[in-house]
Amino acid sequence: MRGLHSNEEGFITKIIDDKTIEIEIEDGFTMPVLIKDVVLVKREESAFFDRDQPTQVETSVIKKTTARTGIYIAFIPSSENFVDLHFINNTDYELLITAHSIAENSIKGEFSMQSYPKSHTLLNKWNIKNFEKWNNLQIDLLYFQKQSTVYKAPLCKKIKFQAKSFFNSFKLAPLIEQKGYLYQIDQEKNNISSISLASNSSPEVQQIDVPKSVIDLHVEQLSSTSAMASHEILNHQLTIFTKNLDAAIATGMSEITFIHGSGTGTLKSKIQKQLSKHPHVAYYQDAQKNKFGYGATYVKIK
């Protein structure tokens, strides 16, 4: 105890009444004091005098996971014959993963790993020219998170590779920010435990056709442009360019040429700006002048 109006400090030795206590100061000297004239400096004394106060209960709050789904495998084209297999964990969970390829009478381990939240891992290369010989893939994974969260059961998914839907799954892969053949492992659709990459029931799924080696983007070569304003025509030309470039990469072409004309140079500038940032473009240059003049760009694909 310490006095409010003096420098004495001591210990409580006796409760005299509801207003007065006895304290012992140095050399064993005791003295009565009013409770209102002292302050508590020891935790034990505070506990005694505050025993009638409501107890403050510490509570823990379960922090909900902000990303419970978002696990993918992505096949990113790396050359004319090969694709890089990436595992993408775009969730807030740590994962333990095993993957096996399944043939008719055998099973073979493909990879096993630990994956951290919001990460991606390059695993190996697959020969896309041998796509028809790819075995089915079974992926098993366990979820882990240190913080309090809702339990998430282990997941087992079987992937059946079929060309019709595989080659139509070409899109931008999360985290990697590159286009590839993308499959979400933890898609929560009808709780299906075995999901095929084929979607034969969907009339919208179509095979990606190999584009022509030379794509003419002149307005007169494009359909449905007569009622368009100039900026709409430009956007339409860029859409056709992107679609054919993606198809060329997806189908394993090594080169493609785009005829854009000379004109004001706007279309050429926008095309070459996209090519300069594209991860699957080895290089680009003006196409043969004796064949296309100054209005075409040749693209070499990685």
293 located within any domain: yes
Q: Are residues 185 and 83 in the same domain?
A: yes
pLDDT at 217 exceeding the cut of 80: yes
pLDDT at 30 exceeding the cut of 50: yes
**Which residues form the domain of 116?**
71-196
Q: Give me the pLDDT at residue 176, please.
A: 92
Q: Are residues 281 and 233 in the same domain?
A: yes
Number of independent structural domains in the chain: 3
Q: Tell me: the pLDDT tens digits for 151-198?
A: 889 999 999 888 888 888 899 999 999 999 999 999 765 333 344 444
Q: Tell me: the pLDDT tens digits for 125-139?
A: 999 888 888 988 999
161 located within any domain: yes
Q: Domain end: 196, 222, 240, which one?
A: 196
Q: Are 282 and 248 in contact (CB under 8 A)?
A: no
pLDDT at 272 exceeding the cut of 80: yes
pLDDT at 202 exceeding the cut of 70: no
Q: Are residues 175 and 75 in the same domain?
A: yes
Q: Are residues 149 and 119 in the same domain?
A: yes
Compute the distance between CA of residue 117 and CA of residue 137 in angstroms, rounded to an integer. 23
What's the gap between Cα 164 and its chain centre?
Answer: 26
Compute the distance between CA of residue 171 and CA of residue 36 in angstroms, rounded to an integer. 75
102 located within any domain: yes
Q: What are phi and psi of 299, to 5 degrees?
A: -120, 125
Q: Are residues 184 and 101 in the same domain?
A: yes
60 located within any domain: no
Encoding tokens for residue 207?
């095979």
203 located within any domain: no
Q: Are residues 80 and 187 in the same domain?
A: yes
Q: Is 171 left (phi over 0), alpha (psi -120 to 50) or beta?
A: beta
pLDDT at 276 exceeding the cut of 50: yes
Q: Are 138 and 100 in contact (CB under 8 A)?
A: yes
Q: Give me the pLDDT at residue 151, please.
A: 84
- For the ranges 32-36, 164-168, 253-257, the lowest mean pLDDT is seen at 32-36
Q: Are residues 35 and 126 in the same domain?
A: no
pLDDT at 55 exceeding the cut of 70: no
| pTM higher than the cut 0.85 | no
Q: Give me the pLDDT at residue 258, please.
A: 93
Q: Are residues 112 and 158 in the same domain?
A: yes
Q: Residue 7 burial by CB count (10 A; 0-12/13-18/19+): exposed, middle or buried? A: exposed
170 located within any domain: yes
Encoding tokens for residue 31?
């003295």
169 located within any domain: yes
CATH at 128 = 2.60.40.1600
SS3 for the chain is CEECCCCCECEEEEECCCCEEEEECHHHCEEEEEHHHEECCCHHHHHHHCCCCCCCCCCCCCCCCCCCCCEEEEEEECCCCEEEEEEEECCCCEEEEEEEEECCCCEEEEEEEEECCCEEEEEEEEEHHHHHHCCEEEEEEEEECCCCCCCCCCEEEEEECCHHHHCCCEEECCCCCCEEEEEECCCCCCCCCEEECCCCCCCCCCCCCCCCCEEECCHHHCCCCCCCCHHHHHHHHHHHHHHHHHHHHHCCCCEEEEECCCCCCHHHHHHHHHHHHCCCEEEEEECCHHHHCCCEEEEEEC
Q: What value does the CA radius of gyration of the chain take, rounded to a whole number of Å? A: 35
pLDDT at 42 exceeding the cut of 60: no
pLDDT at 232 exceeding the cut of 50: yes
Q: Are residues 175 and 269 in the same domain?
A: no
pLDDT at 90 exceeding the cut of 50: yes
59 located within any domain: no
Q: Is 248 left (phi over 0), alpha (psi -120 to 50) or beta?
A: alpha
Of the chain, the percentage scoring pLDDT greater than 90 comes to 35
